[in-house]
Amino acid sequence: MSIGYPKVVVASENSTIVYFSERPCRKTSDQIDYTANALKIRLGEELIDLIPSYHSLLVIYDPLKIGFQKIEQEIRDTIGRWKASNQPQQSRIVELPVYYSPESGPDLQRIADHSGLSIDQVIELHQQTEYTVYAMGFAPGFAYLGEVDERIAMPRLATPRHNVPQGAVAIADRQTAIYPSQSPGGWNLVGLCPLGLFNADKRPHSPMQVGDKLRFKSIDRDEFIQLGGSDKKLTGEIT
């Protein structure tokens, strides 16, 4: 554990935020995952919800059942046990198909121009990296993945698009993500994933969860259509 960590800080009358390290890393992700699961078991009904993110975990509890000092003690005890347990966590590896092309990724050219690479090199760098799911938020099923190779890191668009299609794979700085539903967005679009990424009626609701590893696999236009991708998204009929 880095010096001064974990930091346990009050967030609201019924939530406490735990910072595990200065920067996100593999060990931090393991600790967050362990702590979240252990707290669910330890606290039961005293726990209301948990929000894991890059280097932190927000613990939302019922203040009529457990006070903030007790919760801090529970959190510290739990993290202390992780040190003792010394078991490396096995992450799940999820693979998602992506049709990378200028027709499915209208910002590929911008990234190529910005980086001085060819479009093919941009695609290769994006798909050869193994990403970590650091957080989910912004919209249901929207996963923040890191980290993108710094050569293709790209600032957000100055003016966000009104409509980014469902399944769009995108880059913002050193983060990448897939839009689980059509929404406005300012990230740079590099391709389309033909699969559904959030389903409220079906379990699992999302193919990935915080802590998973994720790889993208490049597919061609025919495979995109075969896997259920809509060619209307390619011709701009669905923006």
Partner 1 sequence: MKGFKVLNPGIHSLLQDMGRFGYHSLGITSGGAFDQYSFGWANQLCHNLDNAGCIEILVGGLILEAQVTTQIAITGADVPIKINDSTVESWCTHNIQAGDTIAFGYATAGCRAYLAVAGGIQAPLIFNSLSTVVRESLGGLTKLGTPLEKGDVLSCSSNSHCTERSVPAKYHCEFNTDTAEIRMVTGYQYEQFSQQQISQFFATDYVISSNSDRMGYRLEGPAIEVPSCEMLSEGISLGAVQLPANGMPIILLCDRQTIGGYPKLGSVFSQDIAKLAQMMPGKKLRFKPFSIEQAQRVLQESTSK
Binding region for partner 1 (CB under 8 A): 9-15, 17, 24, 36, 48-58, 60, 63-64, 67-68, 135-142, 144, 181, 198, 200-201, 205-206, 209-210
Question: DSSP states of 56-123 as a string?
Answer: EEEEEE-TTTS-HHHHHHHHHHHHHHHHHH-------EEEEEEEESTTT-TTHHHHHHHHT--HHHHH
Please report how close the Cβ of residue 91 comes to partner 1 at its closest, in angstroms: 16
Residue number, 128 or 239, with CB nearest to partner 1: 239
123: Cα separation from own chain's centroid = 19
Task: Give the CA dihedral 193, 195, 196, 201, nearest 10 degrees.
Answer: -170
Kindly state the greatest CA–CA separation across the chain.
59
Residue number, 30 or 104, with CB nearest to partner 1: 30
Please report how close the Cβ of residue 178 comes to partner 1 at its closest, in angstroms: 12
Residue number, 58 or 157, with CB nearest to partner 1: 58
- What gap in Å lies between CA 198 and CA 113, rounded to an integer? 33
Residue number, 93 or 139, with CB nearest to partner 1: 139
Please report how close the Cβ of residue 19 comes to partner 1 at its closest, in angstroms: 8
Please report how close the Cβ of residue 189 comes to partner 1 at its closest, in angstroms: 20
